[in-house]
Structure 1
Amino acid sequence: MAFRLKLVPEVTHWDFFKHARYTFGLSVFLVIASIIVTMVMGLNFGIDFKGGTTIRTESTQAVDVGEYRAALATLDLGDVTITEVFDPAFGANKHVAMVRIQAQAEAEAITPEVVNQVEAALQTVDPTMTFPSVESVGPKVSGELIKTAVLSVLAATAAIVVYVWLRFEWQFALGAVAALVHDVVATIGVFALFQIKFDLTIIAALLTILGYSINDTVVVFDRLRENLIKYKTMPLRDVMNLAVNETLSRTVMTSGTTLVALIALLVLGGDVIRGFVFAITWGIVLGTYSSVYVAKNVVLFIGLNRGDKKKPAGDEQFFTEKTDAAD
């Protein structure tokens, strides 16, 4: 007999909506806290959005931010940020730093001559220092990138809402958009809280999170629609619990296997992709949570019109089923 890995039993009867008011309250708190943190602390915009030049340095000597800054002080470059990069994959003799120079007012990007001056100044600290990459983005381009990034996220969200509305009902679309807003805002809040660099790769991660989250939500919605037809007199709360339990094994296996690959990339992938991988990892955890505790709670709170079936008794808690009674 072939061996089959089972992370959850084939049949479960867990009540996912027993503490609906608390799980939904936690989600509301997370969104509000994320908005406040983002407004107060702001995002650590990368070179894509802030404009300027980023020079990556590699040295055999330990990074001394003070010495680096002193070497660049005579160049009159304006705002210069120097950050040491830590990575478990780096060897004992590999020390990496990121030198960010603000966008120059009268130029779209720092000239190659200025870049050469910066590199020469840094090599006075360590003559063996190398510069694997140099990235420059002008102020005008960075402003256009911010606008395009926001529009891309909004357009993706709008398209998803229209798709869910056409495939299911408007209540499902509201639940889906609530879950998507929850995932995106909470992810941005984490980046603001820990001041992780926010650049175009994070926008790509957010779009990936939107797709993953709605995929999980639609799977449960599809099973819910089938069960609504099959169990016409069962309370909506119980039908939703049944739908989530029936798709639980698929959800755990899909999310679990994806997280295994992402965690490996997070630990071993290097600092270049760490922000991108962290965003997707956090987003998948949020997306799995929100597909049940946000999207379904919203639908449960709004209620569904199930035709001429009377409202079943025994569902008078915080989230209640709202159906039209027979005339």
Structure 2
Amino acid sequence: MRWFETPNFDFNGARKVAYIFSAILFLASLGAILTKGLQYGIDFKGGKEFVLDFENPVSVVDMRSDLSVPLGATPELKLFGSDSEILIRTDNEQPISEVQQIITSSMTELYPDNPFTVIKTDVVGPRFAEDLKSGALQAIIYAIVIIFIYILIRFRNWTFSAGAVAALIHDVVIVLGIFTLMADLVPFSLQVDQAIIAAFLTIVGYSLNDTVVVFDRIRENSNVHKGMDFMPMVNKSLNDTLSRTVITSITTLFVVTVLFIFGGEVLKGFSFALLIGIVLGTYSSLFVASSLVVELEARTKKS
């Protein structure tokens, strides 16, 4: 990492190219979301869930594959407390008794030497799903509003707030767009559920942390280099924090990549969202948030 000791990259000089790149990604993502629509999980569209307690441990991966054909779609499966208790969630529209019969008969046929009992059945109704969807959307909106106020109070400049919030919206919309476009192309589920909402909020926090570090250095340099023009000072601040930004991103990517590879089927979508979000968060801190601050500051001075 020696080439990061005294970097002198012209980030602001490349901001127009970054604007074009971000605009293409953002508009393509927004178009995909509006035309194709998001694929919601059971949490947000309703469905049925069952908890089965087997005598011996079973494989969640094998069971998910075995139930896909009888249920007409790949169900959501995860361990429920122990290696022998399995939570099965499906959006099959048949009555719950018929769905339970399909599951129990399939399990009896597939695991004749491993008896089980159904210890729980439940229905996630559409009203509950709609309330949950509304609550998730509100959580993201409230987070963005609070972040705007926090940045405004901390840096006493609305341009910093606008740059930070624009970068966050940029990251979340593009991740959602990638999920929409790749939903039918990857071998794992990219349905939007509670875990994915948690991933989005994590992405917001990660991207914000990177942005605040850069903004802090801009504030420090504005006090130290009072005669320097604003754009060169922002560029200097980005270079000053570049080593920290890149090392943090790479180490975080290592951890999330391990989670993606070894975390199991249930965490694939969550870790995939984080992988994209970390890359986008780093990019937006360097090329979106700071560049928008430069643009807004220039427009403010002109007016």
Question: Please, what TM-score do these two structures have when normalized by structure 1?
Answer: 0.75
Q: State the 1:100 CA deviation.
A: 2.5
Q: Hey, what does 1:139 align to over in structure 2? A: 126
Question: Would you say how many aligned residue pairs link Structure 1 and Structure 2?
Answer: 277
Cα distance in 1, alignment partners of residues 256 and 2 from structure 2? 19
> 1:154 and 2:146 equivalent?
no
Q: Hey, what does 1:163 align to over in structure 2? A: 150
Cα distance in 1, alignment partners of residues 238 and 122 from structure 2? 47
Spell out structure 1 runs of 4+ moving beyond 4 A: 54-66, 127-136
| Secondary structure in 1 matching 2:110 | coil
Q: Hey, what does 1:172 align to over in structure 2? A: 160
Q: Deviations over 1:251-283 (max 9, x none)?
A: 112111111111000001101111111111211
CA separation of 1:121/1:163 partners in 2, compared to 1, >3 Å: closer, same or farther? same
> 1:41 and 2:36 equivalent?
yes
Cα distance in 1, alignment partners of residues 265 and 35 from structure 2? 27
Structure whose CA Rg is larger: 1
Q: Hey, what does 1:238 align to over in structure 2? A: 232
CA contact (8 A) 2:30 2:173 kept: yes
2:177 to 185, 189, 203: 189
CA contact (8 A) 1:175 1:294 kept: yes
CA contact (8 A) 2:65 2:74 kept: no
CA contact (8 A) 1:179 1:295 kept: yes
1:217 to 211, 218, 221: 211
CA-based RMSD of the aligned residues comes to 3.1
Cα distance in 2, alignment partners of residues 149 and 240 from structure 1? 35
CA separation of 1:114/1:10 partners in 2, compared to 1, >3 Å: closer, same or farther? same
Q: Structure 1: which 5+ residue stretches go unaligned?
A: 1-5, 73-79, 86-95, 105-109, 305-320
Aligned-partner residue type, residue 188 of structure 1: L
Q: Hey, what does 1:120 align to over in structure 2? A: 104
| Secondary structure in 2 matching 1:233 | coil
1:204 to 198, 218, 242: 198
Cα distance in 2, alignment partners of residues 135 and 201 from structure 1? 20
Question: Please, what TM-score do these two structures have when normalized by structure 2?
Answer: 0.81
More helix by share: 2
Aligned-partner residue type, residue 232 of structure 1: K
2:90 to 75, 100, 119: 100
Q: Hey, what does 1:295 align to over in structure 2? A: 289
Q: Hey, what does 2:82 align to over in structure 1? A: none
CA separation of 1:58/1:277 partners in 2, compared to 1, >3 Å: closer, same or farther? closer
